[in-house]
């Protein structure tokens, strides 16, 4: 089903699910300077410390050897080193569909959609606050393209009361999709219930649950140097449950972080190490991912910028820091543009390539992100999927057998002739090239006769078709049955507050 | 002047002229397979041969040891090896303004604009056949941005008679710009007169002329396996004059070339080696560049595609082949899109990154190319310049001194605070980040109030401003005086035919 979304011709099968990086990771800093940045981050953690707002987290860290003064936690280098020793280097992201499960490890390449957007926008209905309908539709879009490897909360379902929202989000993920899932760290009760819904809907034994990561969350530190209550709870609860938290300082250079690329990364690194350490103290060996989503602010407006030179340099520097400590890590692409235009495409494609140069394990916000995350754009999503499929295609090298040199065909075609009808072409023509999803390669006359539609306009028909043809995965009906009474009972009891 | 086009703030000076590649070159084939492709190309040249339509070229090659049968030339491996021995590995592209001259060598990075377009298009005047006004305007756009390193014939001045067109094109380049120039290989007389106009306008002695390359041309073989009369003349005449010809087979896999990436590159490589050999036979040591502009055709329409997976793989494979023979080389970015939309941006940015991964010395069609080269788009040019400036910025590493680690600033800012007012930020704020040319980073409300303009729409005002403010370089008036009587006399004599 999903593979047909590439308009794949009969017989052309390219694996967009299991991607490994095609390029060597690159550097913007010398190895010595990276080592100095790591040492500098350790110095920040020991000397300046992190403000940790959750007493339980401070107690855990204190018992592990941290120096705690009021709500400030000072991490010694030994404590961080021990955390980096117990943190695993790879794990499996499980999914309802075993074919969707992925290894999360350095060198692997995963894409997840634009996430966390309060608004949704498309050319038909305009921009509106996210609703459950938008959440469900965007989930169907994610599910329909193989190159989206993990689910994400693209549009916030603001029409569902906060205490019930996690039921709706888990129900949709568990019944209408079959890829690795996302769970918000919004209070201990919501997290525990979300885990419970996964086990229930997928009928997982304790042993099944322990085979890998069934739920992932993103932990944003409150840069600079602060971890708030829900985030600290999330780190602890995901670690204890063996689920993945992705520690992601959002260090905007010039605002919540130093104005230099190096300084912003030192702060990011210190905060990420603090979160990783808390996870390992909560449960040694817990799957916790390094994360970096640092960029610069626009100097005129103070707004976050994406796809900029500083963003790319921070991506590549983050990759160097992650490799320095040997961990898988997440980066992010994204767009500040307010519409699905050339700026939006450039920002996203630039930052996708930044993530490739940085050899990020996971690229979040890889499709659909607009307005620096304030809107999820349907047409932007379709165009971004084209970019992701292009990158997925080059993850596999071109065929390289003696036959691929085409020496007979070259000898057979006369000078100035053409290869259309050669046996070499005929045997491969149908499967040789990537068939575009939204790109229109017809000539100007044909394109004009067809209405002079831009790629943004053409994308509308594509997401409409995908939604019209969408079929939930086979396990969905049974999962819905399993969840129904649980959600009904919990809803009747008033749900669970998103903060404690 | 030109640097102000980045809206650069006072004090922020970034060199967009002298760029070197920031990343290691990448591979899509093993080194062994690349060696096999080179051997395969030598086999094609020896066994199948090239059809060479110019008798003088066949005679030159025969005297150098090629086997000539009728109009087919069979190149022995020794002949090609000798050409690769005498071909230089680097040279200087001279320019009217010495600050614009560039080393042409492996590892250097140069961008030239979308070139050779029969049409021009912009949002104000629509799409029209290229005119001298379009040629002159697009030249002013090229001249106004430092990140465009070489001039190119963006729009063909079809309102100038073919026998006089080279006068107009050279006059514009010599009087309204000061960067390395482009000369079409359109007949011996036009080439000779174009060289003469350069020497005359810039008052070059024979010794000055011999100091480097003052004029460059692109030689497109007639794939497969054919070199036509004007192209063969161009190779010979540019070589003898010590000027650069860029041998560029345009191998469209599945049409004029084999359908496989490897097969298309074997044909490209054979044809490029044939052109390089002819140049070296004409004058050993002549500056001749390897070139590759291979991509795939769209399977539905037969139209050329750009920024596709196959295009990127061919770019990277071309880079491997160029490095195998140790030569600088040109690649190309480009867009098939019929309008300045997300598709256009994606195609161009993808192929720009392909050129980075391939470590191309020169990237032609880097800004403004639309419709697979049938139109030069003004708004597309402005948006592409944003992409080029982004790449130019990351050619320099971020600052990496101990101060850049920002340890004092990190210690001084309280948890949850901000860095806006720290001394570290204040000392760098004005120059830290790239200021966007066309990207709008304001929030949705501000953007909506300002008219909800897409980046394509905003680009219109930018090219209009650039053209309104354009000032020809200082040497222009004197160059115009030097050229006037020559062009008048030649025009009175009827000009020079574009073919012999």
* Secondary structure (3-state) at A44: helix
Query: Which of A188-192, A319-323, B236-240, B295-299 has the lowest average pLDDT?
Result: B295-299
Q: Which of A224, A356, A363 is nearest to A289 (CA)?
A: A363
Q: Looking at chain A from residue 201 to 230, which residues have their Cβ under 8 Å from any Cβ of chain B? A: 222, 224-226
Q: Which of A31, A222, A259, A318 to mutate to test the interface with B (most CBs of B within 10 A)?
A: A259
Task: State residue A3's pLDDT score.
Answer: 41
ipTM: 0.97
Question: Domains (ranges, CATH) in chain A?
Answer: 2-27+85-394 (3.20.20.480)
Please say if the pLDDT value at position A50 is more than 50. Answer: yes
Please say if the pLDDT value at position A180 is more than 80. Answer: yes
Please say if the pLDDT value at position A450 is more than 50. Answer: yes
CA-CA-CA-CA dihedral for A218, A222, A225, A230, to nearest 10: -70
- Per-residue pLDDT band for A8 (boundaries 50, 70, 90) equals very low
Task: State residue A252's pLDDT score.
Answer: 94
Residue A448 contacts B, CB cutoff 8 Å: yes
Q: In whole angstroms, what is the distance from residue B488 CA to residue A85 CA?
A: 80
A302: left (phi over 0), alpha (psi -120 to 50) or beta: left
Q: In whole angstroms, what is the distance from residue B97 CA to residue A2 CA?
A: 56
Sign of CA dihedral B68, B73, B74, B75: positive
CB contact under 8 A, B419 and A258: yes
CB contact under 8 A, B405 and A317: no
Q: In whole angstroms, what is the distance from residue B171 CA to residue B174 CA?
A: 5
Q: In whole angstroms, what is the distance from residue B253 CA to residue B261 CA?
A: 7
Provide the whole-model pTM.
0.97
CB contact under 8 A, A439 and B337: yes
CB contact under 8 A, B345 and A342: yes
For B408-456, what is each residue's pLDDT tens digit?
999 999 999 999 989 999 999 889 999 999 999 999 999 999 999 999 9
Average pLDDT over residues A23-31: 98
Q: Which residue of B has its CA nearest to A409?
A: B258
Q: In whole angstroms, what is the distance from residue A162 CA to residue B420 CA?
A: 34
Render the burial of B16-55: b for 16+ CB within 10 Å, e for the rest. Answer: bbbbebbbebbbbbeeebbebbbebbbbbbbebbbbbbbe
Contacting residues of A for B340, CB less than 8 Å apart: 342
Q: Which two tokens stand for residue A262?
A: 């190096």
CB contact under 8 A, A397 and B258: no
Q: In whole angstroms, what is the distance from residue B89 CA to residue B104 CA?
A: 9
How many CB pairs (< 8 A) connect A and B? Answer: 419
Task: State residue B3's pLDDT score.
Answer: 41
Residue B115 contacts A, CB cutoff 8 Å: no
Element (H, E) at A312: helix A309-324
Contacting residues of B for A42, CB less than 8 Å apart: none
Residue B415 contacts A, CB cutoff 8 Å: yes
Task: State residue A170's pLDDT score.
Answer: 98
CB contact under 8 A, A448 and B339: no
Q: Which of A419, A427, A440, A462 to mutate to test the interface with B (most CBs of B within 10 A)?
A: A419
- The three-point CA angle A416-A422-A426 to 5° equals 135
Q: In whole angstroms, what is the distance from residue A291 CA to residue A332 CA?
A: 9
Residue B339 contacts A, CB cutoff 8 Å: yes
Residue B168 contacts A, CB cutoff 8 Å: no
Residue B447 contacts A, CB cutoff 8 Å: yes
Q: What is the mean pLDDT of chain A?
A: 96
Which residue do the tokens 């046996």 mark?
A: A423
Q: Which residue of A has its CA nearest to B296?
A: A433
Residues written for chain B: 500
The answer to whether A387 and A133 have CB atoms below 8 angstroms apart is: no
Task: State residue B7's pLDDT score.
Answer: 43
Q: In whole angstroms, what is the distance from residue B479 CA to residue B487 CA?
A: 12
Q: Which two tokens stand for residue B135?
A: 């040629």
Q: In whole angstroms, what is the distance from residue A11 CA to residue A409 CA?
A: 23
Residue A86 contacts B, CB cutoff 8 Å: no
- Per-residue pLDDT band for A490 (boundaries 50, 70, 90) equals very high
Task: State residue A471's pLDDT score.
Answer: 97
Residue A440 contacts B, CB cutoff 8 Å: yes
Classify residue B98 by burial, with Cβ atoms within 10 Å: 0-12, 13-18, 19+: exposed
The answer to whether B235 and B258 have CB atoms below 8 angstroms apart is: no
Residue B155 contacts A, CB cutoff 8 Å: no
Residue A307 contacts B, CB cutoff 8 Å: yes
- Per-residue pLDDT band for A302 (boundaries 50, 70, 90) equals confident
The answer to whether A45 and A75 have CB atoms below 8 angstroms apart is: yes
Q: Which of B220, B249, B245 is nearest to B318 (CA)?
A: B249
Number of H helices, E strands in chain A: 17, 20
Cα distances from B89 to residues A115, B103, B329, in angstroms, run: 49, 11, 10
Which residue ranges of chain B lie beneath pLDDT 50? 1-9
Q: In whole angstroms, what is the distance from residue B355 CA to residue B349 CA?
A: 10
At B102, give phi and psi (nearest 5°). -135, 145
Q: Looking at chain B from residue 1 to 30, which residues have their Cβ under 8 Å from any Cβ of chain A? A: 9, 22-24, 26, 28-30
For A142-173, what is each residue's pLDDT tens digit?
999 999 999 999 999 999 999 999 999 999 99
Q: Please name the member of A224, A262, A383 whose beta carbon is closest to the beta carbon of B417.
A: A224
End-to-end, the C-alpha distance of chain B in Å comes to 42
Q: Which residue of B has its CA nearest to A433?
A: B310
Contacting residues of A for B305, CB less than 8 Å apart: 433, 436, 439, 441
For A28-42, what is each residue's pLDDT tens digit?
999 999 999 999 999
For A61-114, what is each residue's pLDDT tens digit?
999 999 999 999 999 999 999 999 999 999 999 999 999 999 999 999 999 999
Contacting residues of A for B23, CB less than 8 Å apart: 26, 357
- Per-residue pLDDT band for A10 (boundaries 50, 70, 90) equals low
Q: In whole angstroms, what is the distance from residue A68 CA to residue A49 CA?
A: 9
Q: Which of B476, B490, B485, B488 is nearest to B97 (CA)?
A: B476
CB contact under 8 A, B432 and A299: yes
Q: Which two tokens stand for residue A313?
A: 């340099």
């Amino acid at each position: 089903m999903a593979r047909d979304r590439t308009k794949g011709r009969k017989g052309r099968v390219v694996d967009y699910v299991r991607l490994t990086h095609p390029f060597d990771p690159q550097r913007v800093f010398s190895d010595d300077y990276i080592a100095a940045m790591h040492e500098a981050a350790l110095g920040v953690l020991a000397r300046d410390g992190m403000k940790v707002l959750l007493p339980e987290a401070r107690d855990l860290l204190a018992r592990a050897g941290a120096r705690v003064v009021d709500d400030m936690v000072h991490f010694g280098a030994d404590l961080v080193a021990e955390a980096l020793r117990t943190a695993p280097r790879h794990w499996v992201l499980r999914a309802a569909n075993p074919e969707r499960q992925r290894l999360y490890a350095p060198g692997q390449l995963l894409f997840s959609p634009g996430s966390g957007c309060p608004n949704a926008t498309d050319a038909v209905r305009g921009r509106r606050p996210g609703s459950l309908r938008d959440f469900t539709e965007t989930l169907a879009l994610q599910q329909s393209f193989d190159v989206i490897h993990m689910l994400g909360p693209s549009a916030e379902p603001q029409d569902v009361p906060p205490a019930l929202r996690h039921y709706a989000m888990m129900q949709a993920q568990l019944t209408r999709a079959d890829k690795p899932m996302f769970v918000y760290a919004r209070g201990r009760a919501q997290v525990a219930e979300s885990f419970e819904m996964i086990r229930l809907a997928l009928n997982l034994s304790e042993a099944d649950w322990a085979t890998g990561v069934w739920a992932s969350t993103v932990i944003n530190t409150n840069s600079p140097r602060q971890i708030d209550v829900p985030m600290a709870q999330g780190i602890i609860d995901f670690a204890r449950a063996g689920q993945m938290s992705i520690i992601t300082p959002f260090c905007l250079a010039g605002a919540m972080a130093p104005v230099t690329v190096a300084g912003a990364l030192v702060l990011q690194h210190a905060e990420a190490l603090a979160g990783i350490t808390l996870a390992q103290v909560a449960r040694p060996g817990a799957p916790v991912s390094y994360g970096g989503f640092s960029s610069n602010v626009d100097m005129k407006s103070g707004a976050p910028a994406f796809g900029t030179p500083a963003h790319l340099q921070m991506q590549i520097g983050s990759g160097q820091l992650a490799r320095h400590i040997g961990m898988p890590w997440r980066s992010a692409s994204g767009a500040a543009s307010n519409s699905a235009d050339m700026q939006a495409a450039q920002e996203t494609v630039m930052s996708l390539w930044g993530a490739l140069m940085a050899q990020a394990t996971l690229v979040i916000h890889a499709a659909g992100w607009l307005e620096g995350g304030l809107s999820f754009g349907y047409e932007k999503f379709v165009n971004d999927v084209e970019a992701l499929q292009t990158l997925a295609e080059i993850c596999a090298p071109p065929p390289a057998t003696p036959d691929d040199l085409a020496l007979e065909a070259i000898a057979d075609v006369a000078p100035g002739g053409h290869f259309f009808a050669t046996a070499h072409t005929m045997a491969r023509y149908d499967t040789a090239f990537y068939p575009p999803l939204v790109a229109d390669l017809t000539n100007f006359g044909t394109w004009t006769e067809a209405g002079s539609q831009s790629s943004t306009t053409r994308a509308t028909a594509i997401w409409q078709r995908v939604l019209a043809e969408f079929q939930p995965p086979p396990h969905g009906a049974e999962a819905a049955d399993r969840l129904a009474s649980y959600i009904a009972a919990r809803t009747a009891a008033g749900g669970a507050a998103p903060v404690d």
